[in-house]
Amino acid sequence: MVKPRTEEEIALLRENAILVSKTLAEVGKAVAPGVTTAKLNEVAETFIRDHGAVPSFLGFEGYPYAICTSVNDVVVHGFPSNYVLKEGDIVTADIGTVYKGYNGDSAYTFPVGEVSAETRRLLDVTKASLYKGIEAAVAGARTGDIGHAVQSYVESYGYSVVRELEGHGIGRSMHEDPGVPNYGRQGHGTRLPEGLVICIEPMVNAGGRGVYLARNGWAVHTADHRKAAHFELTVVVRKGRAEQLSTFEYIESTGNI
């Protein structure tokens, strides 16, 4: 059931969204050649707990880590590990919190050191497609309008959107209705009421849209093993213009990207 939020609930969701945004920035400061993805998990979990929250991913449907770290051809749900990041890699940190009974959820794909122009373009286009989706998230529109905005922008650059995974509503649970696909037709899908809080999260492949699930049952890889990028923000559906609850400003103010 699609449930608009009260302003009091939105304030609590905003607190979570800001905490997740700041946590991503802390992780971003740690991203560098020679650093393990396990270290990124440690940085995030420590920061979240130091601020009175808990990592929502840890234990979610059996997930064993505080965050997801997805490297290169891993689209989402990569396990933190002893993998050592290398110059030219990209790594997505996807992070969730629970604080005061509500959830936060955001993701960012970081370049590791200097990356190729081709990789930088993938990151830039994926992030820009997120903002195209946010522009479409207005009261009275439909989820298909968001998906169409993302898909049409991404495909105009020759990239592909992953169709097996999608954004979602968020509130007391991390994943709530409605699903928010990154593809679709204008005027189709669930209507967006004012006050609905959703996570929009384009997952974009440099090559084809095909993916497969790793043996661990979590990590989703591109079928052609080309790189994938993933950016996610939480927004409130408002009349005329969506309101962002989470932000990349803390990340981008560090100058590390």
| Angle at alpha carbon of residue 75, lines to 73 and 77, rounded to 5° | 120
Q: Which among 214, 219, 241 has a CA at the least distance from the CA of 230?
A: 219
Helix (H) or strand (E) segment spanning residue 117 = helix 117-135
DSSP 1: -
Counting Cα atoms < 13 Å in the Cβ hemisphere of 150 gives 32
Q: Is 156 exposed, middle or buried (0-12, 13-18, 19+ CB in 10 A)?
A: exposed
Residues 81-111 have pLDDT tens digits of: 999 999 999 999 999 999 999 999 999 999 9
Q: How much is the pTM?
A: 0.97
- The CA distance from 43 to 30, in Å, is 8
- Residue 59's alpha-carbon distances to 24, 48, 84, in angstroms, are 20, 15, 24
The CATH number of the structural domain formed by 7-252 is 3.90.230.10
What three-state secondary structure class fits 98? strand
Looking at residue 256, its pLDDT comes to: 65
Residues 156-175 have pLDDT tens digits of: 999 999 999 999 999 999 99
Residues 204-255 have pLDDT tens digits of: 999 999 999 999 999 999 999 999 999 999 999 999 999 999 999 999 987 6
- The CA distance from 8 to 188, in Å, is 30
Q: Which among 173, 163, 168 has a CA at the least distance from the CA of 205?
A: 163
Inter-residue contact 122 to 35 (CB < 8 Å): no
Looking at residue 254, its pLDDT comes to: 75
Domain spans of the chain? 7-252
- The CA distance from 229 to 155, in Å, is 14
